[in-house]
Amino acid sequence: MPLATVEQGTLQGIICDHGGGSYVAFKGIPYAKPPIGKLRFKAPEPPESWDGVRDATQHGPICPQYNERMDRIHIGTEDCLYLNVYTKTVTPAKPLPVMVWIHGGSFYTGSGDSDFYGPEFFMMHDVILVTFNYRLEVLGFLCLNNEEVPGNAGLKDQVAALKWVNKNIAVFGGDPNNVTIFGCSAGSGACSLHLISKMSKGLFHKAILQSGVCLSEWCYNIYPTERAFQLGKLLGKETEDSTELLEFLRNEPTSSLVKIQLPILESKFFDLADNIFFGPVIEKSYPNVDNFLTEHPLELVRKGHLADVPIILGYTSGEGIEVARQLPKLMPFLSTTGAVVPRELKLKWPIEQLIEADKKIRNHYFGGKDISAEILKDLVKLESDKLFIYNIIRFARYHTHYNSNPAYLYKFVAETERNYVKKLYNMESVEGVCHSDELHYLFNVTCLDIPLSEESKHIIKDFVRLWTNFAITGNPTPSSTSVQWKQFTEKERNCYTIGKQFTCVQNDNEKNNTLWESIYEESELDVN
């Protein structure tokens, strides 16, 4: 059995066979002290050592959560800060590039376990893959705006995992000087937050952002304390004292802190982004607290506080299916003035400007039609652009304006039997690849019945090669034998289409992007 000795002690892994080859897995490695008892809601502390040989053949516990895909509660445990390391060999001829996956799930669900993020496709290449759990929902993102609970514990868990990787990955044959972070949806939003956080500086060298950046409203919460006190009231503790609330919440069973449903906030304008009740926040600064984020993401990006590393970022062709699938429930909201205007804008604009933008957007996407089932496909396009695509391109523009390292933009368009989420949502009549449906082409999913045909195997092979090429060299298409993926720049907005074939085009989605640049008044970048 393979052994590896890290700072905390010796681990015994397991050899796994796949597709005629094999790889070594070390699972359930603690990267921080269990955040239980008085450590609930607090930043993670360094991991504890152990004596003897620790069994690393099974995953560690996951954070308590509601699993939307499986439609069930995972009881889990708060002692959930564990990671997994996969490698072809612990003794490579030279240190291997490291890819660290940050799972998504709207900051309230998910884990790094191999039932959904199986490493087999990556183990065909000369890289090491690391996956991990972090605290979710209330446990990971409660914010009381005080020194005890400033917020972002789940993001600080991610930093702790990256620090562990930097200190220990060489033991597994990895190169701590060549670490790529990557994620999808909330995991991608988290990756982009690491790009702007001082706490994450120097812990990685490249980033891949799949369908999410920190400029999107769903990636940060602007009502954290309101949500915290709402939660207390929901659970039977009505108070305006944060110390009293903390004492109460620390003693609540974890089952009370999962799948929270809170009422709509009494704010000027309700927004769909506000339905993520607990997520990343802008922290208040305190002398004895290490903060992850103390300024608004938009302000940091506009100032150029972006890690100067190569990035890949992009989107699927039907991102908005994730929202539009709920059209019957959304009709009353969508019929209100301002519903189609991004939260960032409607909270700062006078009502006249809001009304004008609302009309302009509705006319562009709906052509004057009323909200009904007839506009389903148009709503997909609107939400794709509003919640995902515009801010992804916006982030790429700022990155290339300030940084010397390249940005590579992509659109994922492949549709085969592996596009599970779209089928689950009964949205197969709508064009495009649903949000997160590209994941099944990167990871071997065993907890769901997802077929693997010869056609999808071909796409998987080429797709994963792009990602591993980037991790190895910083260029997703270093070989002259493949269609070259040209860099994104302000003048040449190249976009690489990833599907059954690859193409590189300029100005994808140009008409819609131009509209949003005029709405945001950012045809020229707002540089501070």
pLDDT at 321 over 80: yes
Task: Identify the residue with better confidence: 267 or 367.
Answer: 367
Q: What's the DSSP call for residue 481?
A: T
Mean pLDDT over each residue of the chain, to the nearest integer? 96
Across 65-196, the runs of DSSP E, i.e. the strands, are 65-67, 72-74, 82-87, 96-102, 128-132, 174-184
How far CA 85 is from CA of 103, 149, 218, 328, 500, in Å, comes to 15, 31, 30, 43, 30
Task: Kindly state the average pLDDT of the residues 313-319.
Answer: 98
Question: What percent helix, strand, coil does the chain show, rounded to 5?
Answer: 35, 20, 45
How far CA 452 is from CA of 5, 115, 391, 419, in Å, comes to 37, 15, 33, 11
> pLDDT tens digits for 339-384?
999 999 999 999 999 999 999 999 999 998 998 999 999 999 999 9
Task: Identify the residue with better confidence: 190 or 70.
Answer: 190
pLDDT band per the 50, 70, 90 thresholds, residue 72? confident
At residue 437, the pLDDT reads: 97
Domains in the chain, CATH or no CATH each:
1-213+224-293 (3.40.50.1820)
pLDDT at 413 over 80: yes
Tokens 């994941």 sit on residue: 439
One-letter-per-residue 3-state SS of 250-311:
HCCCHHHHCCCCCCCCCCCCCCHHHHCCCCCCCCCCCCCCCCCCCCCHHHHHHCCCCCCCCE
At residue 159, the pLDDT reads: 98
Q: Which residues are catalytic?
A: 185, 319, 435
The residues pairing with 10 across neighbouring beta strands, listed in sequence order, are 5, 53
Burial annotation 259-270 (CB, 10 A radius, 16+ → b, else e): ebebeeeeeeeb
- For residue 67, the Cα-to-chain-centroid distance in whole angstroms is 16
The backbone torsions φ and ψ at residue 128, rounded to the nearest 5 degrees and listed phi first, read -105, 135
pLDDT at 399 over 90: yes
At residue 1, the pLDDT reads: 87
The number of residues making up the chain comes to 528
At residue 431, the pLDDT reads: 94
Task: Kindly state the average pLDDT of the residues 124-145.
Answer: 98
pLDDT band per the 50, 70, 90 thresholds, residue 287? confident
Q: Cα–Cα–Cα angle for 21, 24, 29, nearest 5°?
A: 155
Tokens 């449906």 sit on residue: 437
Q: 280: which 2 tokens?
A: 């990343």
Task: Kindly state the average pLDDT of the residues 416-430.
Answer: 95
User: Given the DSSP bridges, would you call strands 53-55 and 21-30 parallel, antiparallel or unpaired?
Assistant: unpaired
Model confidence pTM above 0.75: yes
> pLDDT tens digits for 426-444?
999 999 999 999 999 999 9
At residue 16, the pLDDT reads: 97
pLDDT at 479 over 90: no
Nearest-angstrom CA–CA distance, 67 and 109: 6
Give the rounded percent of residues in the chain with a pLDDT score beyond 70.
Answer: 100
At residue 482, the pLDDT reads: 81
Nearest-angstrom CA–CA distance, 126 and 473: 12
* 3 state DSSP class of 228: helix
At residue 433, the pLDDT reads: 98
At residue 268, the pLDDT reads: 73
